[in-house]
Amino acid sequence: MRCVTYSRNVFLPVTNLCRNHCGYCSFRRDAGSARLIHRHEAYRLLARAAETGCSEALFSLGEAPWEVPGFQKLLAEADVSDLLDYLEELCELALELGLLPHTNAGILDDGALARLKPYNASMGLMLETTATVAAHANSPGKSPAARLDYIARAGRLKIPFTTGLLIGIGESWADRKEALEAIAKLHRSYDHIQEIIIQPLDPKTGTPLAEAKRPSVDELCAVVKMAKAILPDSVAVQVPPNLVDPRRLLDAGANDLGGISPVTTDWINPDRPWPELETLAKELDGPDGYYLQERLPVYPRFIERGWHGIKTRDLVAALADESGLVEKKYIC
């Protein structure tokens, strides 16, 4: 049996206010209907996650919400004066409850990145594509150059990083190859990419791409194989098991299933529930099969280097086994 890793997490949508208007997104809201998670709700979710054995707190939010009219009102309603201060507060709360933060806050400046680094085991930003696609026409934050620059800046700060491709948003095969090569080039420069996600488009009702064709498993397998050929073996290739049956993608070379939450939905794809771990383990078991191994949001080689945030180190040491993974192994 071969090992496939995953993390047990809780997904906290800090705010769904966003400056981008991506053609496939049902997460973002305008100021009138947007929300900012309140402290009591964040505490409830984090405490429940700790009780159910989670090790990762995923903090995700719309990009640059401060650029959207109505943002200050949203902060005031949640009794928050500054979003970055609030993110630090939420990360501290997670650590106090025994959870390691992983923050995906869109494109931030160097000062914000440096402030958040100590509180995070790892951070992330999807590249999605290096192509100019219609789905990003109204999304200034989806500039490929800006996103590649952000990933590079995270590398210069030695932040263990997650990125990935979104498949099926109008990009070509050549664009996919170019995006993977761009990630590989950054990794050769900074050696900080711990995983890339190969994520299929999940068309959402009411969005411009609602009638778009969902990528086939054959297509996704081909992208996984391309990623394995272009990226070094040290970079994990992740596929989301709530969006696609992972077995064939694992056979194609993927080796990680990302965050699976027993507590919260996938707020980006709310109609796609996480698989039950016991069911998933049974489906992957068998001759030439796989066993599930829980990991932390920071990969072992970055733990060895001490690249994870300084405030996370005691908790990482308490949660990780000698191999840098989580002590328990999930086998039916």
- Buried-exposed string 152-183: b where 16+ CB fall within 10 A, e elsewhere: ebbbebbbbbbbbbbbbbbbeeebbbbbbebb
Give Cα separations from 254 to 86, 228, 296 (angstroms): 35, 8, 18
**Prediction pTM value:** 0.96
What is the C-alpha to C-alpha distance for residues 39 and 14, in angstroms, rounded to an integer?
A: 10
Q: pLDDT tens string for the chain (332 positions)?
A: 899 999 999 999 999 999 999 999 999 998 889 999 999 999 999 999 999 999 999 999 999 999 999 999 999 999 999 999 999 999 999 999 999 999 999 999 999 999 999 999 999 999 999 999 999 999 999 999 999 999 999 999 999 999 999 999 999 999 999 999 999 999 999 999 999 999 999 999 999 999 999 999 999 999 999 999 999 999 999 999 999 999 999 999 999 999 999 999 999 999 999 999 999 999 999 888 999 999 999 999 999 999 999 999 999 999 999 999 997 644 43
Contact 299, 236 (CB under 8 A): yes
Q: What is the CATH number of the domain that holds 292?
A: 3.20.20.70
Q: How many domains does the chain have?
A: 1
| Domain assignment of residue 223, given as a range | 2-330
CA-closest candidate to residue 75, choices 139, 17, 19: 17
